[in-house]
Amino acid sequence: MSSEPAKDAENRDAQAPRESDGWAMFSTLLAGVLVWTGIGWIADWLLGFDALFLPIGAVLGLVGSVYLIVVKSRQA
């Protein structure tokens, strides 16, 4: 009987979100937006536009990052 509370505590701790999970989500979101904004900026520079692909890249990066965060959080 004494081992049952320890097992419950282990299961609860394994399912509880950790601080590192939040930082991982934040870094995924930030990296996605920055990378795709950079790709949009480079596309604008190469193709001679002022600001066409930069906001498109930022939005794609945001949407892609949120999608990845949702997929990762549902797997855990």
Asked if residue 39 has pLDDT above 70, the reply is yes
CB atoms near residue 24 (< 10 Å): 14
pLDDT band at residue 19 using 50, 70 and 90 as cut-offs: confident
User: Is there a domain that residue 1 lies in?
Assistant: no
User: Is there a domain that residue 13 lies in?
Assistant: no
Q: Which domain holds residue 37?
A: 20-75
User: Is there a domain that residue 27 lies in?
Assistant: yes
User: Is there a domain that residue 10 lies in?
Assistant: no
pTM comes to: 0.73
**Number of domain units in the chain:** 1
User: Is there a domain that residue 42 lies in?
Assistant: yes
Torsion of CA 38, 40, 43, 47, to 10 degrees: -130
